[in-house]
Structure 1
Amino acid sequence: MTATPSPTTASAEGTGDRQAATTLGRRVGSIMLLQLANPMTLLGWPLIILAVIFLGNLAIVTAVTQASGGGAEFTVNGGVGFLWVYTLVMVVLSVNQSFPLALGYGATRRDYLLGAGATYAALSVVYALLLATLAEIERANNGWGVGLGFFAALPEWPWHQVFLAHLLILVLFASIGAATAAIYVRWRAPGMYVFWLGLAIVVVVAVILLSTFDGWFAVRDFFHGAGVMGSLLWSLVITVLSSIAAYGILRRATPTNT
Protein backbone atom coordinates (compact mmCIF):
# COMPACT_ATOMS: atom_id res chain seq x y z
CA MET A 1 0.00 0.00 0.00
CA THR A 2 1.51 3.33 -1.09
CA ALA A 3 0.95 6.47 0.91
CA THR A 4 0.22 9.63 -1.05
CA PRO A 5 0.57 13.14 0.27
CA SER A 6 -2.65 14.87 1.10
CA PRO A 7 -3.62 18.06 -0.77
CA THR A 8 -2.98 19.98 2.42
CA THR A 9 0.55 18.61 2.72
CA ALA A 10 1.31 19.25 -0.95
CA SER A 11 -0.02 22.79 -0.63
CA ALA A 12 2.12 23.40 2.44
CA GLU A 13 5.20 22.11 0.65
CA GLY A 14 4.51 24.33 -2.36
CA THR A 15 4.02 27.34 -0.11
CA GLY A 16 7.24 26.53 1.72
CA ASP A 17 9.17 26.32 -1.56
CA ARG A 18 7.80 29.65 -2.71
CA GLN A 19 8.65 31.27 0.59
CA ALA A 20 12.18 29.87 0.48
CA ALA A 21 12.65 31.15 -3.08
CA THR A 22 11.29 34.56 -2.08
CA THR A 23 13.60 34.70 0.93
CA LEU A 24 16.61 33.72 -1.18
CA GLY A 25 15.67 36.36 -3.75
CA ARG A 26 15.50 39.00 -1.06
CA ARG A 27 18.89 38.02 0.35
CA VAL A 28 20.48 38.02 -3.08
CA GLY A 29 18.80 41.35 -3.83
CA SER A 30 20.30 42.78 -0.65
CA ILE A 31 23.77 41.75 -1.77
CA MET A 32 23.15 43.37 -5.16
CA LEU A 33 22.10 46.59 -3.43
CA LEU A 34 25.27 46.42 -1.36
CA GLN A 35 27.32 46.20 -4.56
CA LEU A 36 25.42 49.20 -5.93
CA ALA A 37 25.86 51.26 -2.77
CA ASN A 38 28.15 53.59 -4.72
CA PRO A 39 26.64 53.80 -8.23
CA MET A 40 29.24 56.32 -9.36
CA THR A 41 31.93 53.66 -9.04
CA LEU A 42 30.02 51.11 -11.12
CA LEU A 43 28.28 53.32 -13.65
CA GLY A 44 29.10 56.99 -13.20
CA TRP A 45 32.87 57.34 -13.36
CA PRO A 46 33.59 54.64 -15.96
CA LEU A 47 31.08 56.17 -18.37
CA ILE A 48 32.35 59.69 -17.68
CA ILE A 49 35.95 58.62 -18.35
CA LEU A 50 34.90 56.71 -21.47
CA ALA A 51 33.08 59.83 -22.69
CA VAL A 52 36.20 61.94 -22.09
CA ILE A 53 38.35 59.44 -24.01
CA PHE A 54 35.85 59.43 -26.87
CA LEU A 55 35.57 63.22 -27.03
CA GLY A 56 39.36 63.52 -26.98
CA ASN A 57 39.64 61.10 -29.90
CA LEU A 58 36.85 62.88 -31.74
CA ALA A 59 38.56 66.26 -31.32
CA ILE A 60 41.90 64.92 -32.54
CA VAL A 61 40.38 63.13 -35.54
CA THR A 62 38.33 66.19 -36.46
CA ALA A 63 41.40 68.39 -36.36
CA VAL A 64 43.46 65.95 -38.43
CA THR A 65 40.64 65.51 -40.95
CA GLN A 66 40.29 69.24 -41.45
CA ALA A 67 44.05 69.71 -41.73
CA SER A 68 44.37 66.94 -44.32
CA GLY A 69 41.40 68.06 -46.35
CA GLY A 70 39.37 64.98 -45.47
CA GLY A 71 41.79 62.45 -46.91
CA ALA A 72 42.85 60.81 -43.63
CA GLU A 73 41.68 57.34 -42.64
CA PHE A 74 41.23 56.16 -39.08
CA THR A 75 40.97 52.70 -37.61
CA VAL A 76 39.79 51.53 -34.23
CA ASN A 77 42.16 52.70 -31.50
CA GLY A 78 40.94 50.41 -28.72
CA GLY A 79 39.60 53.18 -26.52
CA VAL A 80 36.65 51.07 -25.41
CA GLY A 81 39.18 48.64 -23.92
CA PHE A 82 39.29 51.01 -20.96
CA LEU A 83 35.86 49.76 -19.95
CA TRP A 84 37.02 46.13 -20.03
CA VAL A 85 40.02 46.86 -17.81
CA TYR A 86 37.93 49.04 -15.51
CA THR A 87 35.50 46.15 -15.05
CA LEU A 88 38.33 43.89 -13.86
CA VAL A 89 39.69 46.50 -11.44
CA MET A 90 36.21 47.38 -10.19
CA VAL A 91 35.40 43.73 -9.43
CA VAL A 92 38.70 43.28 -7.57
CA LEU A 93 38.05 46.30 -5.38
CA SER A 94 34.38 45.51 -4.88
CA VAL A 95 34.92 41.92 -3.76
CA ASN A 96 37.78 42.88 -1.47
CA GLN A 97 35.69 45.56 0.24
CA SER A 98 32.18 44.10 0.21
CA PHE A 99 32.81 40.44 1.07
CA PRO A 100 33.80 40.94 4.73
CA LEU A 101 31.15 43.65 5.06
CA ALA A 102 28.41 41.35 3.77
CA LEU A 103 29.44 38.54 6.09
CA GLY A 104 29.55 41.02 8.96
CA TYR A 105 25.91 41.86 8.23
CA GLY A 106 25.02 38.17 8.48
CA ALA A 107 24.92 37.21 4.80
CA THR A 108 25.96 33.69 3.86
CA ARG A 109 28.77 33.04 1.43
CA ARG A 110 26.32 31.52 -1.03
CA ASP A 111 24.09 34.59 -0.91
CA TYR A 112 27.08 36.84 -1.43
CA LEU A 113 28.38 34.85 -4.39
CA LEU A 114 24.97 34.75 -6.05
CA GLY A 115 24.33 38.44 -5.46
CA ALA A 116 27.78 39.59 -6.55
CA GLY A 117 27.71 37.34 -9.62
CA ALA A 118 24.27 38.62 -10.62
CA THR A 119 25.46 42.21 -10.20
CA TYR A 120 28.55 41.80 -12.37
CA ALA A 121 26.62 39.85 -15.00
CA ALA A 122 23.92 42.52 -15.17
CA LEU A 123 26.56 45.26 -15.32
CA SER A 124 28.30 43.45 -18.20
CA VAL A 125 24.99 43.26 -20.07
CA VAL A 126 24.38 46.99 -19.54
CA TYR A 127 27.85 47.93 -20.76
CA ALA A 128 27.59 45.58 -23.76
CA LEU A 129 24.20 47.03 -24.72
CA LEU A 130 25.56 50.56 -24.51
CA LEU A 131 28.70 49.83 -26.53
CA ALA A 132 26.82 47.91 -29.22
CA THR A 133 24.25 50.69 -29.56
CA LEU A 134 26.95 53.36 -29.81
CA ALA A 135 28.71 51.25 -32.46
CA GLU A 136 25.48 51.16 -34.46
CA ILE A 137 25.09 54.92 -34.18
CA GLU A 138 28.73 55.39 -35.19
CA ARG A 139 28.24 53.33 -38.35
CA ALA A 140 25.03 55.15 -39.20
CA ASN A 141 26.67 58.60 -39.18
CA ASN A 142 29.94 57.58 -40.88
CA GLY A 143 32.10 57.67 -37.79
CA TRP A 144 30.52 60.81 -36.28
CA GLY A 145 30.98 62.59 -39.58
CA VAL A 146 34.78 62.34 -39.61
CA GLY A 147 35.35 58.62 -40.17
CA LEU A 148 36.28 57.84 -36.55
CA GLY A 149 36.17 54.17 -35.62
CA PHE A 150 35.88 54.22 -31.84
CA PHE A 151 33.01 51.91 -30.90
CA ALA A 152 32.59 49.88 -34.11
CA ALA A 153 35.49 47.43 -33.86
CA LEU A 154 34.47 45.62 -37.05
CA PRO A 155 32.22 47.79 -39.23
CA GLU A 156 30.68 44.78 -40.99
CA TRP A 157 29.43 43.21 -37.77
CA PRO A 158 25.69 43.58 -37.01
CA TRP A 159 24.47 44.89 -33.67
CA HIS A 160 23.97 41.48 -32.05
CA GLN A 161 27.52 40.34 -32.83
CA VAL A 162 29.02 43.52 -31.39
CA PHE A 163 26.87 43.07 -28.28
CA LEU A 164 27.91 39.43 -27.86
CA ALA A 165 31.59 40.23 -28.38
CA HIS A 166 31.59 42.94 -25.71
CA LEU A 167 29.56 40.77 -23.35
CA LEU A 168 32.02 37.86 -23.65
CA ILE A 169 34.98 40.14 -23.02
CA LEU A 170 33.31 41.89 -20.08
CA VAL A 171 32.32 38.69 -18.29
CA LEU A 172 35.83 37.34 -18.94
CA PHE A 173 37.45 40.34 -17.28
CA ALA A 174 34.89 40.28 -14.46
CA SER A 175 35.52 36.59 -13.73
CA ILE A 176 39.29 37.07 -13.75
CA GLY A 177 38.87 40.00 -11.38
CA ALA A 178 36.67 37.94 -9.08
CA ALA A 179 39.17 35.07 -8.97
CA THR A 180 42.06 37.45 -8.31
CA ALA A 181 40.13 39.21 -5.55
CA ALA A 182 39.15 35.87 -3.99
CA ILE A 183 42.80 34.88 -3.73
CA TYR A 184 43.64 38.15 -2.00
CA VAL A 185 40.62 37.97 0.32
CA ARG A 186 41.56 34.52 1.56
CA TRP A 187 45.38 34.55 1.54
CA ARG A 188 46.20 38.26 1.36
CA ALA A 189 49.64 39.28 0.05
CA PRO A 190 51.33 35.83 0.33
CA GLY A 191 48.59 34.33 -1.82
CA MET A 192 49.04 37.01 -4.46
CA TYR A 193 52.80 36.46 -4.54
CA VAL A 194 52.32 32.74 -5.07
CA PHE A 195 49.59 33.32 -7.66
CA TRP A 196 51.56 35.76 -9.81
CA LEU A 197 54.76 33.74 -9.49
CA GLY A 198 52.90 30.58 -10.51
CA LEU A 199 51.23 32.36 -13.41
CA ALA A 200 54.57 33.74 -14.60
CA ILE A 201 56.12 30.27 -14.48
CA VAL A 202 53.22 28.80 -16.47
CA VAL A 203 53.51 31.52 -19.12
CA VAL A 204 57.29 31.12 -19.42
CA VAL A 205 57.04 27.33 -19.67
CA ALA A 206 54.28 27.63 -22.29
CA VAL A 207 56.35 30.06 -24.37
CA ILE A 208 59.40 27.77 -24.18
CA LEU A 209 57.38 24.71 -25.21
CA LEU A 210 55.66 26.52 -28.07
CA SER A 211 58.97 27.87 -29.32
CA THR A 212 60.78 24.53 -28.97
CA PHE A 213 58.17 22.47 -30.79
CA ASP A 214 57.08 25.13 -33.32
CA GLY A 215 53.72 25.40 -31.64
CA TRP A 216 53.20 29.03 -32.57
CA PHE A 217 52.05 27.97 -36.05
CA ALA A 218 49.39 25.74 -34.49
CA VAL A 219 48.25 28.61 -32.27
CA ARG A 220 48.07 30.93 -35.28
CA ASP A 221 46.14 28.40 -37.33
CA PHE A 222 43.75 27.76 -34.44
CA PHE A 223 42.80 31.40 -33.96
CA HIS A 224 42.73 32.02 -37.70
CA GLY A 225 40.34 29.11 -38.16
CA ALA A 226 38.19 30.10 -35.20
CA GLY A 227 37.89 33.71 -36.30
CA VAL A 228 37.27 36.65 -34.00
CA MET A 229 33.91 35.47 -32.68
CA GLY A 230 35.03 31.87 -32.38
CA SER A 231 38.08 32.93 -30.39
CA LEU A 232 35.89 35.03 -28.09
CA LEU A 233 33.59 32.07 -27.53
CA TRP A 234 36.61 30.02 -26.45
CA SER A 235 37.21 32.65 -23.76
CA LEU A 236 34.20 31.16 -21.99
CA VAL A 237 36.52 28.36 -20.86
CA ILE A 238 38.63 30.87 -18.92
CA THR A 239 35.49 32.63 -17.70
CA VAL A 240 34.00 29.44 -16.31
CA LEU A 241 37.26 28.28 -14.71
CA SER A 242 37.83 31.70 -13.12
CA SER A 243 34.26 31.78 -11.81
CA ILE A 244 34.60 28.30 -10.33
CA ALA A 245 37.89 29.31 -8.71
CA ALA A 246 36.35 32.45 -7.21
CA TYR A 247 33.38 30.47 -5.92
CA GLY A 248 35.50 27.73 -4.38
CA ILE A 249 37.95 30.11 -2.73
CA LEU A 250 35.37 32.50 -1.30
CA ARG A 251 33.29 29.59 0.00
CA ARG A 252 36.20 28.86 2.33
CA ALA A 253 37.19 32.40 3.16
CA THR A 254 36.30 33.82 6.57
CA PRO A 255 36.19 37.36 7.92
CA THR A 256 39.33 36.60 9.93
CA ASN A 257 41.14 36.01 6.62
CA THR A 258 40.31 39.52 5.56
Structure 2
Amino acid sequence: GHPDLCLPNTLNVSFKNIDANTLLSELETIAASAGAACHSDKTEISSVLTAMNVSYEEALGAIRFSTGRFTTPREIDQAAGQIVETYQRVIQNTDASNFTPSTPEKIKLTQYTHGLGCACKLKPQVLEKIIRNNPIPDDPNVLVGVSTSDDAAVYKLNEDTAIVKTIDFFTPMVNDPYFFGAIGAANALSDIYAMGAQPLFALNIVGFPVNRLPLEVLETILKGANDKAKEAGISILGGHSIEDNEPKFGMVVTGKVHPKKILTNANAQPGDVILLTKPIGL
Protein backbone atom coordinates (compact mmCIF):
# COMPACT_ATOMS: atom_id res chain seq x y z
CA GLY A 1 0.00 0.00 0.00
CA HIS A 2 0.87 3.69 0.10
CA PRO A 3 3.81 4.42 2.47
CA ASP A 4 2.15 7.53 3.94
CA LEU A 5 -1.62 7.44 3.24
CA CYS A 6 -2.35 4.42 5.43
CA LEU A 7 -3.10 3.51 9.03
CA PRO A 8 0.23 3.01 10.81
CA ASN A 9 -1.12 0.36 13.17
CA THR A 10 -2.95 -1.91 10.71
CA LEU A 11 -1.56 -4.54 8.37
CA ASN A 12 -3.43 -6.92 6.07
CA VAL A 13 -1.43 -10.02 5.12
CA SER A 14 -2.56 -12.74 2.72
CA PHE A 15 -1.46 -16.34 3.25
CA LYS A 16 -1.67 -18.38 0.07
CA ASN A 17 -3.40 -21.75 -0.19
CA ILE A 18 -5.09 -21.61 3.22
CA ASP A 19 -8.32 -20.21 4.62
CA ALA A 20 -7.70 -17.36 7.04
CA ASN A 21 -10.04 -18.81 9.67
CA THR A 22 -8.21 -22.13 9.59
CA LEU A 23 -4.94 -20.34 10.36
CA LEU A 24 -6.53 -18.12 13.00
CA SER A 25 -7.95 -21.16 14.79
CA GLU A 26 -4.37 -22.40 15.28
CA LEU A 27 -3.02 -19.07 16.59
CA GLU A 28 -3.98 -19.48 20.24
CA THR A 29 -2.00 -16.51 21.61
CA ILE A 30 -2.59 -14.00 18.81
CA ALA A 31 -5.81 -12.02 18.27
CA ALA A 32 -6.52 -11.06 14.65
CA SER A 33 -9.42 -11.03 12.21
CA ALA A 34 -10.12 -12.54 8.82
CA GLY A 35 -10.52 -10.08 5.95
CA ALA A 36 -11.65 -6.49 6.51
CA ALA A 37 -12.99 -5.47 9.93
CA CYS A 38 -16.58 -5.34 8.72
CA HIS A 39 -16.29 -9.03 7.80
CA SER A 40 -14.47 -10.21 10.91
CA ASP A 41 -17.35 -12.50 11.93
CA LYS A 42 -17.69 -14.17 8.51
CA THR A 43 -15.62 -16.35 6.23
CA GLU A 44 -16.97 -14.90 2.98
CA ILE A 45 -14.73 -12.78 0.81
CA SER A 46 -14.51 -9.19 2.02
CA SER A 47 -16.13 -6.61 -0.29
CA VAL A 48 -13.24 -4.27 0.54
CA LEU A 49 -10.67 -6.77 -0.73
CA THR A 50 -12.85 -7.49 -3.76
CA ALA A 51 -12.96 -3.74 -4.57
CA MET A 52 -9.16 -3.70 -4.33
CA ASN A 53 -9.04 -6.41 -7.03
CA VAL A 54 -7.45 -8.90 -4.65
CA SER A 55 -7.63 -12.37 -6.20
CA TYR A 56 -10.03 -14.96 -4.80
CA GLU A 57 -7.21 -17.24 -3.56
CA GLU A 58 -5.39 -14.36 -1.81
CA ALA A 59 -8.60 -12.97 -0.30
CA LEU A 60 -9.40 -16.35 1.26
CA GLY A 61 -6.17 -16.18 3.24
CA ALA A 62 -6.29 -12.49 4.19
CA ILE A 63 -5.76 -11.69 7.89
CA ARG A 64 -5.93 -8.22 9.44
CA PHE A 65 -3.40 -7.50 12.19
CA SER A 66 -3.53 -4.42 14.40
CA THR A 67 -1.12 -3.08 17.00
CA GLY A 68 -2.00 -1.10 20.08
CA ARG A 69 -0.42 1.87 21.81
CA PHE A 70 1.54 -0.33 24.16
CA THR A 71 2.58 -3.04 21.67
CA THR A 72 6.36 -3.47 21.71
CA PRO A 73 8.72 -4.39 18.83
CA ARG A 74 9.66 -7.54 20.76
CA GLU A 75 6.00 -8.65 20.90
CA ILE A 76 5.65 -8.03 17.16
CA ASP A 77 8.74 -10.16 16.44
CA GLN A 78 7.42 -12.96 18.65
CA ALA A 79 4.02 -12.86 16.97
CA ALA A 80 5.60 -12.92 13.51
CA GLY A 81 7.63 -15.99 14.45
CA GLN A 82 4.54 -17.79 15.76
CA ILE A 83 2.55 -16.92 12.64
CA VAL A 84 5.23 -18.24 10.28
CA GLU A 85 5.69 -21.43 12.32
CA THR A 86 1.94 -22.07 12.48
CA TYR A 87 1.44 -21.41 8.77
CA GLN A 88 4.20 -23.85 7.83
CA ARG A 89 2.77 -26.51 10.14
CA VAL A 90 -0.78 -26.18 8.85
CA ILE A 91 0.19 -26.00 5.19
CA GLN A 92 2.75 -28.83 5.22
CA ASN A 93 0.31 -31.39 3.82
CA THR A 94 -0.87 -29.10 1.04
CA ASP A 95 0.77 -29.18 -2.38
CA ALA A 96 0.82 -25.46 -3.12
CA SER A 97 1.97 -26.00 -6.71
CA ASN A 98 -1.38 -27.59 -7.54
CA PHE A 99 -3.58 -25.01 -5.80
CA THR A 100 -6.66 -24.07 -7.83
CA PRO A 101 -9.53 -21.67 -7.21
CA SER A 102 -12.71 -23.00 -5.63
CA THR A 103 -14.69 -23.69 -8.77
CA PRO A 104 -16.72 -26.92 -9.03
CA GLU A 105 -14.86 -28.23 -12.06
CA LYS A 106 -11.39 -27.74 -10.52
CA ILE A 107 -11.86 -28.91 -6.94
CA LYS A 108 -9.09 -30.87 -5.22
CA LEU A 109 -10.46 -31.75 -1.81
CA THR A 110 -7.11 -32.65 -0.24
CA GLN A 111 -6.08 -28.99 -0.55
CA TYR A 112 -8.76 -28.04 1.95
CA THR A 113 -7.61 -30.13 4.90
CA HIS A 114 -4.53 -30.22 7.15
CA GLY A 115 -4.51 -34.04 7.14
CA LEU A 116 -5.68 -36.87 4.93
CA GLY A 117 -8.40 -39.29 6.00
CA CYS A 118 -7.50 -41.53 8.92
CA ALA A 119 -4.27 -39.55 9.40
CA CYS A 120 -6.45 -37.04 11.27
CA LYS A 121 -7.41 -39.59 13.92
CA LEU A 122 -6.32 -39.08 17.50
CA LYS A 123 -3.42 -41.32 18.46
CA PRO A 124 -4.53 -44.63 20.06
CA GLN A 125 -2.40 -43.98 23.15
CA VAL A 126 -4.15 -40.64 23.65
CA LEU A 127 -7.59 -42.23 23.37
CA GLU A 128 -6.62 -44.99 25.78
CA LYS A 129 -5.73 -42.45 28.47
CA ILE A 130 -9.14 -40.81 28.10
CA ILE A 131 -11.28 -43.93 27.74
CA ARG A 132 -9.70 -45.75 30.68
CA ASN A 133 -11.34 -43.22 33.00
CA ASN A 134 -14.80 -43.81 31.57
CA PRO A 135 -17.10 -46.24 33.41
CA ILE A 136 -17.48 -49.67 31.82
CA PRO A 137 -21.16 -50.47 31.10
CA ASP A 138 -22.61 -53.18 33.34
CA ASP A 139 -25.70 -53.72 31.17
CA PRO A 140 -25.81 -57.48 30.39
CA ASN A 141 -27.27 -56.73 26.97
CA VAL A 142 -24.05 -54.97 25.88
CA LEU A 143 -22.38 -57.75 23.91
CA VAL A 144 -19.54 -55.68 22.42
CA GLY A 145 -18.35 -52.42 23.97
CA VAL A 146 -15.05 -50.57 24.24
CA SER A 147 -13.04 -53.33 25.91
CA THR A 148 -12.10 -55.16 22.69
CA SER A 149 -11.56 -52.09 20.46
CA ASP A 150 -13.90 -53.48 17.84
CA ASP A 151 -15.28 -51.76 14.76
CA ALA A 152 -18.80 -51.38 16.14
CA ALA A 153 -20.89 -51.71 19.28
CA VAL A 154 -23.39 -54.57 19.67
CA TYR A 155 -26.49 -54.52 21.86
CA LYS A 156 -28.74 -57.54 22.41
CA LEU A 157 -32.47 -57.00 21.84
CA ASN A 158 -33.60 -60.60 22.28
CA GLU A 159 -32.31 -64.14 21.89
CA ASP A 160 -32.35 -63.88 18.10
CA THR A 161 -31.41 -60.27 17.36
CA ALA A 162 -28.72 -57.81 18.35
CA ILE A 163 -28.31 -54.26 17.08
CA VAL A 164 -24.91 -53.29 15.65
CA LYS A 165 -24.00 -49.59 15.55
CA THR A 166 -20.97 -47.75 14.18
CA ILE A 167 -19.94 -44.17 13.44
CA ASP A 168 -17.07 -43.23 11.16
CA PHE A 169 -16.05 -39.99 9.47
CA PHE A 170 -12.87 -38.29 8.30
CA THR A 171 -11.34 -35.58 6.15
CA PRO A 172 -10.66 -36.11 2.41
CA MET A 173 -7.97 -38.57 1.35
CA VAL A 174 -8.85 -38.21 -2.36
CA ASN A 175 -9.47 -35.14 -4.49
CA ASP A 176 -12.67 -36.23 -6.21
CA PRO A 177 -15.83 -35.34 -4.18
CA TYR A 178 -17.83 -38.29 -5.53
CA PHE A 179 -15.20 -40.84 -4.55
CA PHE A 180 -14.75 -39.15 -1.17
CA GLY A 181 -18.44 -39.71 -0.44
CA ALA A 182 -18.34 -43.28 -1.71
CA ILE A 183 -15.23 -44.10 0.34
CA GLY A 184 -16.75 -42.54 3.45
CA ALA A 185 -19.87 -44.67 3.07
CA ALA A 186 -17.95 -47.85 2.28
CA ASN A 187 -15.69 -47.31 5.28
CA ALA A 188 -18.62 -47.03 7.69
CA LEU A 189 -20.43 -49.97 6.12
CA SER A 190 -17.31 -52.12 6.41
CA ASP A 191 -17.48 -51.75 10.21
CA ILE A 192 -20.87 -53.48 10.16
CA TYR A 193 -19.66 -56.24 7.85
CA ALA A 194 -16.58 -56.75 10.01
CA MET A 195 -18.86 -57.72 12.91
CA GLY A 196 -20.62 -60.35 10.78
CA ALA A 197 -23.73 -58.15 10.66
CA GLN A 198 -26.21 -57.00 8.04
CA PRO A 199 -26.56 -53.21 7.55
CA LEU A 200 -30.10 -51.81 7.85
CA PHE A 201 -29.88 -48.04 7.33
CA ALA A 202 -27.51 -45.08 7.69
CA LEU A 203 -27.32 -41.42 8.68
CA ASN A 204 -24.89 -38.92 7.16
CA ILE A 205 -22.38 -36.82 9.14
CA VAL A 206 -21.21 -33.69 7.33
CA GLY A 207 -18.79 -30.89 8.11
CA PHE A 208 -18.56 -28.45 5.21
CA PRO A 209 -16.83 -25.09 4.53
CA VAL A 210 -19.75 -23.35 2.83
CA ASN A 211 -17.71 -20.21 2.17
CA ARG A 212 -14.70 -22.04 0.75
CA LEU A 213 -16.32 -24.63 -1.50
CA PRO A 214 -19.43 -24.47 -3.70
CA LEU A 215 -22.44 -26.46 -2.51
CA GLU A 216 -22.27 -28.53 -5.69
CA VAL A 217 -19.26 -30.23 -4.10
CA LEU A 218 -21.34 -31.34 -1.13
CA GLU A 219 -24.07 -32.57 -3.46
CA THR A 220 -21.48 -34.69 -5.27
CA ILE A 221 -20.11 -36.08 -1.98
CA LEU A 222 -23.61 -37.12 -0.94
CA LYS A 223 -24.28 -38.68 -4.34
CA GLY A 224 -21.21 -40.87 -3.97
CA ALA A 225 -22.42 -41.94 -0.52
CA ASN A 226 -25.95 -42.61 -1.76
CA ASP A 227 -24.71 -44.76 -4.61
CA LYS A 228 -22.58 -46.83 -2.25
CA ALA A 229 -25.48 -47.22 0.21
CA LYS A 230 -27.71 -48.34 -2.65
CA GLU A 231 -25.09 -50.91 -3.60
CA ALA A 232 -25.25 -52.22 -0.02
CA GLY A 233 -29.04 -52.40 -0.21
CA ILE A 234 -29.77 -49.77 2.45
CA SER A 235 -31.24 -46.27 2.63
CA ILE A 236 -29.79 -43.08 4.11
CA LEU A 237 -32.54 -41.72 6.34
CA GLY A 238 -31.10 -38.35 7.34
CA GLY A 239 -28.10 -37.06 9.24
CA HIS A 240 -26.48 -34.02 10.79
CA SER A 241 -24.35 -31.21 9.36
CA ILE A 242 -22.24 -28.35 10.67
CA GLU A 243 -20.28 -25.55 9.04
CA ASP A 244 -16.57 -26.31 9.30
CA ASN A 245 -13.27 -24.93 8.01
CA GLU A 246 -12.52 -28.32 6.45
CA PRO A 247 -14.72 -30.80 4.56
CA LYS A 248 -15.56 -33.91 6.58
CA PHE A 249 -17.88 -36.77 5.79
CA GLY A 250 -18.95 -40.06 7.28
CA MET A 251 -21.89 -42.14 8.43
CA VAL A 252 -23.66 -43.68 11.37
CA VAL A 253 -24.73 -47.14 10.26
CA THR A 254 -27.15 -49.44 12.05
CA GLY A 255 -27.17 -53.18 11.44
CA LYS A 256 -28.36 -56.43 12.96
CA VAL A 257 -26.78 -59.79 13.78
CA HIS A 258 -27.64 -62.98 15.65
CA PRO A 259 -26.13 -62.74 19.14
CA LYS A 260 -24.28 -66.02 18.66
CA LYS A 261 -22.82 -65.10 15.27
CA ILE A 262 -20.94 -61.92 16.20
CA LEU A 263 -17.37 -61.55 14.91
CA THR A 264 -15.04 -59.64 17.23
CA ASN A 265 -11.33 -58.95 17.67
CA ALA A 266 -11.35 -61.24 20.72
CA ASN A 267 -12.82 -64.30 18.98
CA ALA A 268 -9.91 -65.26 16.72
CA GLN A 269 -8.88 -68.91 17.04
CA PRO A 270 -5.84 -70.89 15.84
CA GLY A 271 -6.51 -72.17 12.35
CA ASP A 272 -8.86 -69.31 11.38
CA VAL A 273 -8.50 -68.11 7.79
CA ILE A 274 -7.44 -64.50 7.19
CA LEU A 275 -8.92 -62.88 4.09
CA LEU A 276 -6.92 -60.06 2.46
CA THR A 277 -8.68 -57.59 0.17
CA LYS A 278 -5.47 -55.91 -0.98
CA PRO A 279 -1.71 -56.57 -0.93
CA ILE A 280 0.23 -56.27 2.32
CA GLY A 281 2.88 -53.56 2.28
CA LEU A 282 3.59 -49.89 2.71
Structure 1 or 2: more strand by fraction: 2
Normalization by structure 2: what TM-score? Answer: 0.22
Structure 1 or 2: more helix by fraction: 1
Normalization by structure 1: what TM-score? Answer: 0.24
